[in-house]
Amino acid sequence: MPADILYSVRNLTVEYKTRAGVVRAVDNVSLDIRRGEILGLVGESGCGKSTLGKALMRLHTGPASIAGGELWFDGRDLMKLSEREMPDVRGAEIGMVFQDPMTSLNPVQRILDHLTETIQTHEPEISDAAARARSEELVERLGIRRERLNEYPHQMSGGMRQRVMISLALALRAKLVIADEPTTSLDVIVEAKFLDLLKELQKEFGLTILLITHNIGVVAEVADRVAVMYAAKMAEVGDVNEVFADPKHPYTQGLLKSVPNIRLEEAELYKMEGAPPNLLHPPAGCRFNPRCPFVMEVCRTQEPAFAPVVGDHYASCLLYQEAGMKQERLHG
C-alpha cells in the first residue's frame, strides 16, 4: 500500500438478507482514501454510500454482512481482525459523525461525561483531571465555550451538537473521521460554519475525512476528491475540480446538471429520466444503461471495469473502455 494512502478498500461487497432475497448494497467496490484529504462520497438514496461508510468500520450487524473484500487501514487488513480487536480501531482510530447527533448522544449524560468517558475507555491511565482538561481544550478549539461542557445534549443547538460529535472523534486523535450526512439536518449558515470547521481541522490536525453526502454543493465546497456511487457500484472517482469540470460517467454528468446552482444564469435544470434500479434485480451489463443517453449495444451485456480515464480520474463506463479496446485492436 503506498504511503500516502490511509485507507484502501478492495473489492468490497456488502449484502443485506431480505425476505425477497439478497440485496448487494455495495457490490465489488474499490476506493482509496489519501492521508489528509477530504474525500466526498456522493450518490442518491440507496446507492450504497452509507453502507460503504459503515463497512469501513465493520459496523454491520443484523441482516447486513460483509460478503467479501479487503479493508486496508493504515497498514493492516481490518477484515483479519477479530471482533474483540475492532473497538480499538472504532472510535479510537476511526471516528464517526452521523446525520442526527441527538440519536448519537446520550440524552441523560452531560457533554463533559461523554468526552471523559470516551477518553478513559480507550486510555484508562488518564486521570479525571487530565481527561477534563483535554476535553475543555478540545471543545474550545471547536468553538464551544468550556462552561457548556456541563450541559446536556438537549440544551445545545443542532450545530453545537454536531461539533460535540466531532470533538468525540478528535478526543482520541482519530486518523480518519467518517462523516455521514453531517450537515443534512443543519440550516445553511450553520452548515457553512461546520464545513469551515472541517477544513480547519484538516489543515490543523492533518485529519482525513470521508464526507458522505447527497449534497453535491457541500462536496464542491470542501472536498479535495470526489467519489460518485450509483446502484451499489463506484461510478467515478477523481479530483474535485476535474470531476466537476469534466465529468466522465454519464450518470455524474446528469447528476451535476440536475443540481440547482444559485450562481448560474441558466433557467432550466436537467431532468434525468427514469430511476435507480431495484438492487434485487439490477440490470445486466452497466447498471446505468437503461437511463444512459449514450448507451451502446455492448452496455446491455458487458459490465464496465472501474478503470482510469485520464491520470487519477477513474470511471466505470464502456464509452472510454470501448474506445481503448478499439485503439488496441487497431494497433494490435
Partner 1 sequence: MAEPKPIANEIAASVTGPDDLVQVENLRKHFPVQSGFLASLLNRGHIPAVKAVDGVSFTIRKGEVFGLAGESGSGKSTVGRLILGLLEPTEGRVVFDGTDLGSLSPETMRRLRSRMQVIFQDPLASLNPRMTIGEAISHPVRIHITNQPDEVRRVVIEILNKVGLAPAEQFYDKYPHQISGGQRQRVVIARALVTAPDLVVADEPIAMADVSVRALLLDLMMRLKEELNLTYLFITHDLATAKYVCDRIAIMYLGKMCEVGPLADVYEYSCHPYTRALLEAVPVPDPRHRRKEPMPAGEIPSAINPPPGCHFHPRCPIARENCSVEEPALRELRPGHFVACHYAEELLK
Residues that bind partner 1 (CB under 8 A): 44-45, 157, 159-160, 187-193, 195-196, 214-218, 220-221, 223, 240-241, 244, 254-256, 258-263, 267-272, 275
Is residue 30 within 8 Å of 11, Cβ to Cβ? yes
Q: How far is the CB of 197 from partner 1 (least distance, A)?
A: 11
Q: Which is nearer to partner 1, 177 or 218 (CB)?
A: 218
Q: Which is nearer to partner 1, 47 or 309 (CB)?
A: 47
Q: How far is the CB of 308 from partner 1 (least distance, A)?
A: 21
Q: Which is nearer to partner 1, 172 or 201 (CB)?
A: 201
Backbone phi, psi, residue 11, to 5° = 50, 45
Angle at 145 between CA 139 and CA 147, to 5 degrees: 105
Q: How far is the CB of 159 from partner 1 (least distance, A)?
A: 7
Q: How far is the CB of 131 from partner 1 (least distance, A)?
A: 28
Q: Which is nearer to partner 1, 19 or 331 (CB)?
A: 19
Q: Which is nearer to partner 1, 171 or 216 (CB)?
A: 216
Q: How far is the CB of 7 from partner 1 (least distance, A)?
A: 23
Q: How far is the CB of 212 from partner 1 (least distance, A)?
A: 15
Is residue 129 within 8 Å of 79, Cβ to Cβ? no
Q: Which is nearer to partner 1, 11 or 157 (CB)?
A: 157
